[in-house]
A and B are shown apart, each in its own frame.
Chain A
Amino acid sequence: AAGVIQSPRHLIKEKRETATLKCYPIPRHDTVYWYQQGPGQDPQFLISFYEKMQSDKGSIPDRFSAQQFSDYHSELNMSSLELGDSALYFCASSPSVATGELFFGEGSRLTVL
């Protein structure tokens, strides 16, 4: 079965650089979520999109932005990177049934040097 696809899997950037992470949800899933997981931490909700519109926002820095495109894929853009942005970034998708669990991708590991 198709899963959530994230790219790149690993990314190394310098401080103050910009990074873009991509997420391709499971087909027919119309809701996408972004989570950030620091080392030894639980996943923290960043932002979500339903039918290409932002539906909820969590602890996402102003330096970060995200969008969902017409094909339902989503991109997380991170600018002015800081050392503390080093983390595993997960994308998850769910169908439009509200009781559904989230299906997670394998994550993109960002390292900021």
Chain B
Amino acid sequence: AQSVAQPEDQVNVAEGNPLTVKCTYSVSGNPYLFWYVQYPNRGLQFLLKYITGDNLVKGSYGFEAEFNKSQTSFHLKKPSALVSDSALYFCAVRDRRRDDKIIFGKGTRLHILP
């Protein structure tokens, strides 16, 4: 069964600094990997995904993520953080099988300090 680990409950970053939110995964085959963001009392918004190809994928709002197969990681990054990036971020994995569910990590709360 697939699983996702987000080792940090919370990450604090000063505005303008680069940010990284960590994610590692476990899946039996090759994974589909996703990052979602959630604002208070809202649904989950898709940020980006890795399916195949380049290990560095770019997504919405200037975010990007790097797929590292040897380390089974998919860390979320942004070169320069904005206060408006403050939210709850979920890493998710999907096994490469038609209509299989997405499994979420526990989430990391990102605080961008002005």
A interface residues, Cβ below 8 angstroms from B: 4, 31, 33, 41-43, 45, 48, 50, 55-56, 58, 88, 90, 92, 94, 96, 98-99, 101-107, 109
Q: Looking across the interface, which residue of chain B has its beta carbon closest to that of A58?
A: B101
Chain A residues with CB under 8 Å of B34's CB are: 101
Q: Are A99 and B32 in contact (CB under 8 A)?
A: yes
Q: Which residues of A contact B98 (CB under 8 A)?
A: 96, 98
Can you pick out 13 interface pairs between chain A and chain B where the beta carbons lie within 8 Å of each other?
A43-B104, A50-B99, A55-B99, A56-B100, A90-B43, A90-B44, A96-B99, A99-B32, A101-B34, A101-B46, A102-B102, A104-B45, A109-B41
Whether the Cβ atoms of B107 and A42 lie closer than 8 Å is yes
Complex Cα gap A92–B43 (Å)? 10
Please indicate the chain B residues that have their CB under 8 angstroms from the CB of A92 in the complex.
44
Q: Indicate if the CB atoms of A104 and B44 lie closer than 8 Å.
A: yes
Tell me, rounded to whole Å, the shortest Cβ–Cβ distance linking B59 to chain A: 10
Q: Which residues of A contact B41 (CB under 8 A)?
A: 88, 107, 109
**What DSSP secondary structure best describes chain B's contact surface?**
loop
Known: A33-B101, A45-B101, A45-B103. A98 touches B96 (CB 8 A): yes
> Which residues of B are interface residues toward A (Cβ below 8 A)?
32, 34, 36, 41-46, 49, 51, 90, 96-107
B44→A48 contact, CB < 8 A: no
CB distance from B45 to the nearest CB of A (A): 8
**A101 CA to B36 CA, complexed, in Å:** 10
The 9 A-B residue pairs with the shortest CB-CB distance, nearest first, are A104-B43, A98-B98, A104-B44, A106-B43, A50-B99, A42-B104, A45-B101, A99-B51, A101-B46
User: Known contacts A55-B99, A101-B49; is A42 also within 8 Å of B42 by CB?
Assistant: no
Contact status A105-B99, CB under 8 Å? no
